[in-house]
Amino acid sequence: MDLGLRGRRALVTGGTKGIGAAIVDLLADEGAAVALCARNSAEVAAKVDALRAKGVAATGRALDVADPAALRGWVAEAAGELGGLDIVVPNVSALAVGSDEAAWRSGFTVDMMGTVTAVEAAMPFLERSEAGAIVVISSVSGREIDFAAGPYGAFKAALIHYAQGLAFQLAPRNIRANSVSPGNTYFAGSVWHQIETGNPALFAEALRLNPTGRMARPEEVARAAVFLASPAASFITGTNLVVDGSLTRGVQF
């Protein structure tokens, strides 16, 4: 299937590791130009260089999405470099699984407002696109109560609500909005990689709960996100696509 992404311009936050990096790679492989950000400048530079080495139009900046001024400035700068924006994928999470006030503030600032700020900053460019698309990366923790109940789960649920609200509000402007809710996703350096070595009992329990007996790979989540971002999904908006290998039991209507 031709996803229709050749020549499109995409912006991805948290684009150097895990799901974000896989989304960046797949967008690039489909012919899109890509702007990405992350906090580590060396990792951003390496990712941009790797993309450019493959002939991809790519740009990136090291920043913290918790800094709204820096995030807004980068979105505008990236749009200028790419000649506009067609796609925005807010992907960064604070992974706030604690229960103290600091965890709640971190989850709100990074997960919630990092997403809202990126979308609002990109909106003037999406409105000029022929195929504007927003894909918010949420989590199955936004659908079910699990070990991440608290700020992480609460803000992931809020992101799903936010994306579906955007879908309704932006439909007259030909901008689609969807969310993707990954289940447990494993890659080198991930939270689950750390749990595997630091808390093997919890890791084993997480594997036991999934009928597939494994966790997702980043590229499996990325395929869902990139499809929803593409013109091939032109009449799909306001949906939350769960990618969890049947981990969750709730029926989604």
Residue 54 bears catalytic tag: no
Residue 156 bears catalytic tag: yes
Amino acid present at 149: A
Which of 17, 47, 156, 179 is the catalytic position? Answer: 156
Cα dist from 226 to 30, 75, 151, 196, 242, whole Å: 9, 19, 27, 29, 14
Which of 93, 106, 129, 139 is the catalytic position? Answer: 139
Residue 162 bears catalytic tag: no
Residue 47 bears catalytic tag: no
Which of 129, 138, 141, 190 is the catalytic position? Answer: 138
**How many CB atoms within 10 Å of residue 227?**
20
Q: What would the DSSP string read from start to end of the chain?
A: ---S-TT-EEEEES-SSHHHHHHHHHHHHTT-EEEEEES-HHHHHHHHHHHHHTT--EEEEE--TT-HHHHHHHHHHHHHHHTS-SEEE----------SHHHHHHHIIIIIHHHHHHHHHHHHHHTT-SSEEEEEE--GGGTS--TTTTHHHHHHHHHHHHHHHHHHHHGGGTEEEEEEEE--B--TTSHHHHHHHH-HHHHHHHHHHSTTSS-B-HHHHHHHHHHHHSGGGTT--S-EEEESTT---PPP-
Which of 93, 106, 152, 181 is the catalytic position? Answer: 152
Contact status, residue 139 vs residue 181, Cβ threshold 8 Å: yes
Catalytic residues: 138-139, 152, 156
